[in-house]
Structure 1
C-alpha cells in the first residue's frame, strides 16, 4: 500500500503571527517578516510530528491511497483520520485499464479513530489480479488553523517553540517531545488493546 499527500498545508493556513506572539519575538523592525520562512518550517515540522503521534490529520488536505488487495472486503480501514469525504475510488487492472466506481458503489463510514470505506452491498469490488485500487480522499480536523481544537493548536505552538529554542541542539534523544505537548495530545491518540490491535 502507498499513501501520498496530494496537497500540502498552504502557508496562509499556518499561524505565523500567533507563533511570533508565542515566542515573544520583537516587532516594529523594518524586516519584521525576515524569519517567516524559518517559522513556517518549524510549524510544519510540529504539525507533522503531532499528526504522526496522534494518527490525526490536523489541517484538511487531499490524499491518495493505493492498495493491491483489501484487508477486509466488508470494509477497509482508511489510513488517516478523520476523513471528510471519499473523492473517488478507481480500480486498475494489470494492463493499466481503469474503472472509476460510482458514488453508489461504496460509502464512507465516519469515525474519529478508524474511518472505513464500506461497500454499498456485501463486499467491496474485487481488485483485479496484478492491479490496484486508488482511493482519493479529503482528510483533516479543520479547513484552517482557526477551526482546530484549542488544545491541539496549543500543542503545535509549544512543539514548534521547542524546535525553535533547541534548533542548534544535536544531543536530544530520538522521539523527544515536551511533557506539555504529550499531555495535550494524549486524548487524540489511537487506543490500542493487546497484541498491537487498534480498536
Structure 2
C-alpha cells in the first residue's frame, strides 16, 4: 500500500497566528518571517503526527492510494477519513497501460471512521497480474482551520508547542498525556486480521 497526498496544505491555511498566540510570542520584530517559517514547520510536523495517530486528514486535500491487490474482493478500506469523494479508480497493467474504471462499478461508503469503496456488483474490478490499482480521493474535515473539530485543533497546537519547546534538546520522547487524551476518541480500534 502506497498512500500519497497529492495536494499540500497551503501555507495560508495554517494557523500560524493562533500558534504564535498559543505560545505567547511577541510579534512585529524584524525577523518575524524567519520565526513564522519555524512555527509553520512545527505546525506541519504536528499535523502529520496527529493525522498519522488518528488516521484522519485534518485539512481537506487530495490523495492517491496505490495497491497491488485488494484486501477484500468486495470492498477496500481507505486509509484516511473523512472521505469527501472518490475522483478516479484506475487499473494499470505491468506494461503501464491504464484503464479508468467507470464510477458505476463501485460505491463510496463514506463512514466517518472507516470509509471504503464497495463493489456495485459482485466484486471490485480485477487488478491485472503484476499490476496496480490507483484510487484518487479527497479527504479531510474542510479547507479552513476552523472546519477541523476543536479537540483535534487543540491537540495540534499542544503538540506543535511541545516540538517548539523541546527544539534544542532533540525533541520530546512521546506525546504528552493531555495530547493523547484529546486524540483518544478519534483513534480507530482494529481487532482481528480483517477488521
Normalising by structure 2, report the TM-score.
0.94
2:83 paired residue number: 83
The answer to whether the aligner puts 1:67 opposite 2:58 as a matched pair is: no
| Number of aligned residue pairs | 195
2:23 paired residue number: 23
Name structure 2 gaps, 5 residues minimum. none
The answer to whether the aligner puts 1:184 opposite 2:182 as a matched pair is: yes
1:159 paired residue number: 159
Hey, what's the Cα distance between the residues in 2 that align with 1:145 and 1:171?
25
Q: Rate the CA distance shift 1:53–1:124 in 2: closer, same or farther, 3 A.
A: same
1:58 paired residue number: 58
Moved more, 139-148 or 8-17: 139-148
Hey, what's the Cα distance between the residues in 2 that align with 1:177 and 1:95?
45
Hey, what's the Cα distance between the residues in 2 that align with 1:107 and 1:34?
46
1:119-158 deviations in whole A, cap 9, x for unaligned? 1111101111121111011011222211011111111111
Alignment partner of 2:32: what SS? coil
Hey, what's the Cα distance between the residues in 2 that align with 1:160 and 1:88?
34
2:48 paired residue number: 48
Normalising by structure 1, report the TM-score.
0.92
Q: Rate the CA distance shift 1:32–1:93 in 2: closer, same or farther, 3 A.
A: closer
**1:192 Cα offset (Å):** 2.8
1:89-143 deviations in whole A, cap 9, x for unaligned? 0111122211101111111111122111111111101111121111011011222
Q: RMSD in angstroms over aligned alpha carbons?
A: 1.5
**1:31 Cα offset (Å):** 4.0
1:138 paired residue number: 138
**1:32 Cα offset (Å):** 3.4
